[in-house]
């Protein structure tokens, strides 16, 4: 087991239509909370920060996967917070635009780009307009999104779904397949008390969605709030995630990619690897550093070192996804 804190246009390619009490038991919560602590090795090379998990390929194998013209390549961006105004980043539009330009100069055309939530800061029509137009400039096959809590301000996500929810099920969840990988996009930001929450309808959706899949099918799950207990005191967890993870236990490779925490963090538990992404807007403190997860003002010239994008590569027949986290240039 390893963990490390580091300091849409077309979601309908393959859609699947749309337990008990909400919370974890005390024992489950303690088990999740116990995940927080040891180490993933990060290697800095050419301005990139590459994370290596115990079962991931080494850098040579990852390079071989990236060189394969038939490999799956996609990019994750997160937490653009278009509309934010504050000293932590006075120009979130500029930094998000730089992130999108960086995607366009990666040296390959991603099969798709996934934005894992908090596209906007206050869910206003103007903010949704702006982020939709900006995402339209990404050179990629498709753009997918999941909502963050900032995309659901005051309306339980209705405005978000009007813009980005075409073809989705329930309150915006969906799945699709490409390159032999099955992708599930979940919504855990609409029924917030303290922790993220999926709900019975969505858990049943996952149960039906994976029922016919072979156990050697690689699974990738997108969500905004982590599906593991990164730091429950700040709400950095999902109270009923264990019910979904139990449905994925039979699969040999499961990768969960989330946003929300504005920093890199990786965790491996059995067949599941969790990767939290950084932001394109502003950093948040490391878990437990401070009384609340408030935007952090960095010294002049250091903001971009905390912002970035993530590229993911997968070649059929390999055991894991190769993940590269890259700072804004």
The pLDDT tens digits for 217-266 are: 999 999 999 999 999 999 999 999 999 999 999 999 999 999 999 999 99
Quick one: pLDDT at residue 175? 98
Tell how far CA 251 is from the center of its chain.
20
Tokens of 269: 């538990």
More confident of the two residues 160 and 65? 160
Band (pLDDT 50/70/90 cuts) for residue 66 is low
Axis crossing angle, helix 92-104 with helix 125-135, rounded to the nearest 10 = 20
- What is the pLDDT averaged over residues 79-100? 98
Taking the C-alpha atoms of residue 78 and residue 115, their distance in angstroms, rounded to an integer, is 5
- Decide if pLDDT at 149 tops 90: yes
Task: Identify which of 297, 265, 295 has the alpha carbon closest to the alpha carbon of residue 49.
Answer: 265
Residue with the larger pLDDT of the pair 319 and 2: 319
Pair 232, 239: CB distance under 8 Å: no
Among all chains, which residue has been given the structure tokens 């050697």?
216
- pLDDT bin (cut points 50, 70, 90) of residue 65 is low
Q: pTM for the whole thing?
A: 0.83
Please compute the mean of the pLDDT values over residues 168-179 and round it to a whole number. 97
Q: Where do the domains of the chain lie? A: 2-327
Tokens of 121: 């800061």
pLDDT of residue 9: 39
Would you put residue 133 in left (φ > 0), alpha (ψ -120 to 50) or beta?
alpha
CATH for 2-327?
3.60.21.10
**Strand 112-115 to strand 142-145: parallel, antiparallel, or no bridges (unpaired)?**
parallel
Residue 178's pLDDT is 96
On the question of pLDDT at 280 being above 60, the answer is: yes
How far is it between the farthest Cα atoms of the chain? Answer: 53
* Other beta carbons within 10 Å of 145: 28
- Which residue matches tokens 């991931």? 56
Query: How large a percentage of the chain has pLDDT more than 90?
Result: 76
Task: Specify the pLDDT at position 318.
Answer: 82
């Amino acid at each position: 087991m390893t963990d490390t804190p580091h300091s849409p246009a077309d979601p309908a390619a393959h859609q699947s239509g749309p337990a008990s009490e909400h919370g974890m038991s005390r024992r489950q919560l303690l088990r999740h909370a116990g995940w927080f602590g040891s180490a993933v090795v990060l290697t800095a090379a050419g301005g990139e920060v590459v994370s290596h998990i115990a079962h991931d390929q080494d850098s040579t194998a990852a390079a071989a996967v990236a060189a394969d013209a038939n490999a799956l390549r996609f990019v994750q961006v997160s937490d653009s917070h278009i509309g934010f105004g504050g000293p932590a980043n006075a120009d979130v539009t500029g930094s998000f635009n730089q992130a999108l330009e960086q995607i366009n100069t990666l040296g390959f055309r991603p099969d798709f780009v996934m934005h894992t939530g908090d596209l906007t800061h206050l869910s206003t029509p103007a903010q949704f307009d702006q982020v939709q137009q900006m995402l339209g400039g990404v050179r990629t096959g498709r753009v997918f999104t999941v909502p963050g809590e900032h995309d659901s301000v005051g309306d339980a996500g209705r405005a978000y779904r009007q813009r980005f929810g075409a073809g989705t099920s329930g309150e915006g969840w969906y799945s699709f397949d490409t390159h032999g990988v099955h992708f599930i996009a979940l919504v855990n930001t609409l029924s917030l008390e303290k922790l993220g929450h999926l709900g019975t309808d969505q858990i049943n959706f996952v149960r039906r969605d994976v029922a016919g899949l072979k156990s050697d099918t690689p699974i990738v799950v997108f969500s905004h709030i982590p599906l593991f207990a990164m730091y429950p005191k700040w709400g950095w967890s999902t109270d009923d995630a264990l019910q979904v993870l139990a449905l994925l236990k039979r699969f040999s490779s499961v990768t969960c990619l989330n946003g929300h925490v504005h920093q890199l963090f990786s965790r491996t538990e059995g067949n599941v690897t969790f990767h939290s992404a950084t932001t394109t807007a502003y950093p948040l403190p490391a878990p437990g550093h401070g009384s609340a997860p408030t935007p952090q003002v960095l010294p002049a010239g250091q903001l971009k070192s905390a912002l970035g994008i993530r590229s993911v590569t997968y070649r059929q027949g390999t055991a894991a996804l190769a993940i590269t986290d890259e700072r804004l240039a």
